[in-house]
Chains A and B, each alone.
Chain A
C-alpha cells in the first residue's frame, strides 16, 4: 500500500453559508481531530457571503497550520461584479498561504506565479493541464464529472509534469453555477435582496421532482447533486492511477469521521467494506453515488469490486 498511504486527504472549501460560529467550531475540530493533510478555505460560491468570514480567516489559517495542516485559500468560481473582480485580484497577490484559482480572472491576475487550479477551471485533459503547468500551476483539481479513463490519462500527464492531482471523492457534486441566485428565487427575492436566506440550509435546499424523487440541491447560485459522491471503494484505484490528493467536500455530517473512514482505507487500517459501512451510517438517508466515475449518470451507484 505504498501508493495509497502517501495519498493526501484534503478538505475542500465550505460551499454553504455556514455562520461564523459554525465555521470556527468546525475548523477547530478539523484541526484537532481530522486526519486531513490540507484544508481549502475561502468563499468560492457567493461574493456576498465573503465579508461574513473574512475577519476570521487569519485565525483559522493559524489554527489549522498550528495543527500541521497545509492551508490553501480558494477563489470565487464566478467573477463578474466589481467586488468579485477585486476579491480575485487581491487573492492573486497573496504569497502565503497557497492559493487555488477557480476563474480565469484569477489566472490573469496571478500571471506565472505558482498557484493551484481549482475544480471550476475545467482542466479536462492533458493538453489543458500542460498549458496550465506552463503558466505556473503546481496542482490541479479535476472536474467532478470526469470518468475513470480520462482521470487516468489526466493524472498521468499531471504527474509527469510534476503537478499534484486532486479529485473530489466525497460530498455533493457541484453541477452548475449561475448568475442568478436560486435560493433567493425560491423565496421570492432577488440576489441583491436575498437577505442571506441560504443560511437556512447548511446542506443545501432540496429540490424534488413533482413525483417526489429528490434530485438536486440549491446552494445560492450553485446547483449541486442530491446524492453525496462517494468514491471510497474506488480510492485505492484512484491513487494507483496517480491522483495524489483526495478531496472531501464539507457537508452537514460528521466530517471528522468521514475523513477517518477514508484515511483508514488508504492506510489499510480497515477493510473497504467496513469503512463504507461507517460512511453510510454517517450519511444517514442521503444517497451515495459514483456514477460520474464510471461514466454513467452521476446519481447512480455502481457496485464494483474494488481492487485492494
Chain B
C-alpha cells in the first residue's frame, strides 16, 4: 500500500472507527487542545481515547497520524512537547507538524516516529521542503492547495520525501499557517489556538421579514444569504464584502465552495503524489463514511487499472458547490 494512500479525518473516536471501517489507509486526528488546528468545541481525543484509537486502527491495518500542527506561543511549548510524548507512547505512526521548535523536539526525542510536514508550514517550493527534510528528517510534505499538477510533478522530482495533497473538503484560500484573520476579529488565533472562526464567536441572525440570514463573526457581518441561497462556513475568507468599485458586495476572496479533485486522481498519481488527504475533522461520521467510501472505491479502481466511477459528492460540499481550485489551472490565482 505505498501508492495513493487515503488519509482520512477523524474528529471523534467514532469517526475514526468509521473511517477505518470505510477503508482509510491512515486516519489523522488531534488532542482536545491547542496543539492541533481543529481545536473545536466537543471535538477531538482525550489521551485515553487516542490510545484506544491507535489500537483499533492498528488491529485493522490502518495508521494513525497525530496532528501537532499549530504554533506554540512562547511560554506554552511544553503542551506541544507533552502531546508529542503521549503520541509516541501510544504508538502513533507519524506526527504532523508545522513549528520548527516542535519539529526539532520530536526529531531529537522521538527519532523513531515519522514526521510529516503539515500544510500549516506552508512549504510550497522544493527548497522549503528540503529545508525541513534536511534538518528534521521529514518523510512527507502536505502541499498547500495552491499548486497546479505540473507544478506538483516538478516539486516531486526535486525533493527527497513523499507528497500528500488534499483531494476533498474545505478549500483553504489563504496560505495556511500564515493567517491571522480569525484573531483579528475574535482574539482567538488559528496558529496559536487551533481555531478558525470559533463557534463561540459565530452567530446566525435571521431576518424574519425577508428570510435572509446573516452570518456574523465577532459581531461583524461576514455574509448575508437570501432565502434561497446556499450557505457556507462563517469564515472571513468566504465572506462577501464591498469595495469602493464593488458597492454591491462580492466574494472578495472565494465563494463558499469545496475542493473536489476526484476527477484528477489519475493525474495526481501520475505526478507522483503518494497520499491523498480528505479534509474534515470537524465534519460528521456521515460525511466521513460517504467521502471515505467513495474515494476508497475510486482509488482501488484506478490502481486496478479500471476507470474510476466517481460519485457525485456535491451534496456534502460547502455552498453545495465544488471546485478543482488551483490544481486545474493557474487562472485560479
Contacts and interface: CB of A to CB of B under 8 A. Distances in A.
Contacts of B151: 80
B253 A182 contact: yes
A146 B173 contact: no
Contact of A132 (B100, B125, B179, B237): B100
A94 interface: no
A175 interface: yes
A125 B71 CA distance: 8
B226 interface: no
A295 B254 CA distance: 28
Interface hub of A84, A126, A135, A215 (most chain B Cβ within 10 A): A215
Contact of B180 (A127, A144, A150): A144
B74 A173 contact: no
Nearest to B189: A145
Given A104-B123, A108-B130, A180-B332, A296 B181 contact: no
Contacts of A180: 146, 173, 253-254, 326, 332-333
B101 to A, nearest CB: 3
Contacts of B121: 104
Interface residues of A, number: 76
A228 to B, nearest CB: 13
Contacts of A154: 74
Interface hub of A77, A108, A132, A215 (most chain B Cβ within 10 A): A108
B124 A298 contact: no
Nearest to A211: B221
Contact of B183 (A130, A190, A216, A292): A292
Interface in B200-255: 218, 220-224, 236-237, 239-246, 249-250, 252-254
A182 B126 CA distance: 26
Contact of B178 (A120, A130, A292, A295): A120
Interface stretch (A5-13, A50-58, A200-208): A200-208
A214 B51 CA distance: 47
Interface string A149-168: 11111100100000000000
Contact of A209 (B101, B124, B135, B220): B220
B45 interface: no
Contacts of B175: 78, 176-179
Interface hub of B102, B131, B222, B236 (most chain A Cβ within 10 A): B131
Nearest to B220: A209
Contacts, number: 232
B164 interface: no
A260 interface: no
Given A105-B125, A108-B130, A205 B74 contact: no
Interface residues on B, range: 35 or more
A291 to B, nearest CB: 7
Nearest to A179: B146
Interface in A170-204: 173-182, 185-187, 190-192
A232 to B, nearest CB: 20
B132 interface: yes
A120 to B, nearest CB: 6
B253 to A, nearest CB: 6
A127 B105 contact: yes
A103 B101 contact: no
Contacts of A135: 135
Given A122-B191, A154-B74, A79 B128 contact: yes
Contacts of A296: 187
Nearest to B70: A124
Contacts of B128: 79, 103-105, 107-108
Nearest to A155: B74
Contact of B77 (A109, A127, A186, A211): A127
A56 to B, nearest CB: 27
Interface in A103-147: 103-105, 107-109, 120, 122, 124-132, 135, 143-147
A235 B220 CA distance: 30
B184 A175 contact: yes
A126 to B, nearest CB: 5
A204 to B, nearest CB: 11
Given A122-B71, A125-B75, A105 B178 contact: no
Interface in B174-202: 174-175, 177-181, 183-187, 189, 191-192
B240 A210 contact: yes
Contacts of A125: 71-77, 99, 101
B170 to A, nearest CB: 15
B147 interface: yes
Contact of B244 (A108, A122, A205): A205
A178 B173 contact: yes
B144 A192 contact: no
B333 A191 contact: yes
A299 interface: yes
A109 B175 CA distance: 21
Contacts of B221: 209-211, 213
Contacts of A80: 124-125, 146-147, 151
A298 B333 contact: no
B127 interface: yes
B2 interface: no
Contacts of A174: 180
Closest 10 CB pairs of A and B: A127-B101, A179-B146, A128-B101, A153-B74, A154-B74, A105-B127, A298-B184, A104-B128, A150-B73, A108-B131
